[in-house]
Amino acid sequence: MRVVFLGAPGVGKGTQADRVTSKFNIVKISTGDLLREAVRNQTPLGREAKSYMDQGKLVPDSVVIGLVRNKLADPSSRNGFVLDGFPRTVAQAEELGKVLASTHRQLDRVVNFQVSREDVIKRLSGRRSCPKCQATFHADFAPSKKGAACDRCGETLVQRSDDRPEAIETRLKVYEEQTAPLIRYYRDQQLLSELDGSGPVEAVFEALSKVLTPYGTT
Ligand SMILES: [Zn+2]
């Protein structure tokens, strides 16, 4: 099974990707994880990525695509994969298509997780983190047992500035503008499945499994 998950920040697709990997015995490919791993292992691409990050610049597409290409060539992805957070643009989607075609593979499905704007704001604006030990909590879904203080170390929890409602509105707007062409691209290729991502994790996973089961053995 070879799938891509699309969805705004805070729709819960990372959690669903983790579940899908264990149910269907495939790997999750997250560009954030690949970047961190490459930097840690000081691979050539990792060193290149770090030189941009050290200057506070965005890591260019060529590096990100190189990391994805290496991962897709790795035997661990032979049984299938779920790409989480990539591609983000039509240009990246076209590159992905070429990389897969060069190894005689293609995508089975692209799942677009849809959640209402209010839900996303509720999920993201409830996030709290500990500035001391980096533990994370959610005011509604995973609160600290000590209320406004950290469960683990007692430090006062903080809200990241980009999790404030105004900042979330901006992030969502940017996301929608950036990915609308990508969604059209995959719809035109008849690969797109829209999925209602609101509601409990379990219910979303059940609906997602129905969408993906036909591709379980590819
Ligand atoms: Zn703490």
Picking from 91, 97, 77, 85, the residue whose alpha carbon sits closest to that of residue 6 is 85
Q: List, in sequence order, every beta strand (DSSP E) within the chain.
A: 2-6, 27-30, 81-84, 109-114, 127-129, 136-138, 192-196
> pLDDT tens digits for 192-209?
999 999 888 899 999 999
Q: What is the mean pLDDT of the chain?
A: 92
Query: Which residues are near ligand 1, the ion (C-beta closer than 5 Å)?
Result: 130, 132-133, 135, 150, 152-153, 155
pLDDT recorded at residue 96:
96
CA of 134 to the centre of ligand 1 (A): 6
135 within 8 A of 156, measured Cβ to Cβ: no
Residue 22, C-beta contacts closer than 8 angstroms, at least 6 positions apart: none
Please state, in angstroms and rounded to a whole number, the distance separating the CA atoms of residues 68 and 35. 10
The structure tokens listed for 61 are 């597409």
Residue 132 Cα to ligand 1 midpoint, Å, equals 5
Read off the amino acid at residue 107.
L
pLDDT at 123: 85
Catalytic residue numbers, as ranges: 13, 88, 127, 160, 171
pLDDT digits (tens, 9 = 90+) for 158-168: 998 888 888 88
127 Cα: distance to centroid of ligand 1 (angstroms): 14
Two tokens at 193? 């499945």
pLDDT at 31 over 80: yes
Strand, helix or coil for residue 142: strand
Ligand 1 centroid to Cα of residue 119, in Å, is 27
**d(CA 18, ligand 1 centre) in Å:** 25
Q: Calculate mean pLDDT across residues 47-57.
A: 91
pLDDT at 218 over 50: no
Residue 33 backbone phi and psi in degrees, to 5? -65, -45
pLDDT of residue 171: 85
> Region 19-43: what's the mean pLDDT?
93
User: Per-residue pLDDT tens for 114-141?
Assistant: 988 888 888 888 999 999 998 989 988 8
Q: How confident is the model at residue 10 (pLDDT cuts 50, 70, 90)?
A: confident
Quote the pLDDT of residue 106: 94
- The answer on pLDDT for 25 being more than 70 is yes
Confidence of residue 217 (pLDDT cuts 50, 70, 90): low
Q: Are 71 and 61 in contact (CB under 8 A)?
A: no
Find the 131 Cα to ligand 1 centroid distance in Å. Answer: 7
Cα(189) to centroid(ligand 1), Å? 47
pLDDT at 200: 86
Percent share of the chain, pLDDT over 70? 99
Residue pair 45/66 in contact (Cβ under 8 Å)? The answer is: yes
Angle between helices 31-41 and 44-54 (to 10 degrees): 100
In terms of pLDDT, which residue wins out, 187 or 88?
A: 187
Mean pLDDT value of segment 57-62: 88
